Structure 1
Amino acid sequence: MLGPELFIVGQRSEQFSSIVAGAADYLRGAWEQELTGVAFEVGAMPAAADPDEVPRWWTSKLERRIVLFRVPIERLSRMHRNDPEHRQMLIESMVFRATAEYVGRDPWDLDKDGRYL
Structure 2
Amino acid sequence: MQGKRFSFGKRNAILFLTWRKERDEIIMIKKEEISFNFIQKEAQTGSYQGMRYYLEKKGDQLSATVYPDKFCFVKTPEDQKITREFPNTPDSMPDLIRWLNEQHESGRY
TM-score (norm 1): 0.29
Structure 1 or 2: more helix by fraction = 1
TM-score normalised per structure 2: 0.30
Structure number with the higher strand fraction is 2
Q: Which has the larger radius of gyration?
A: 2
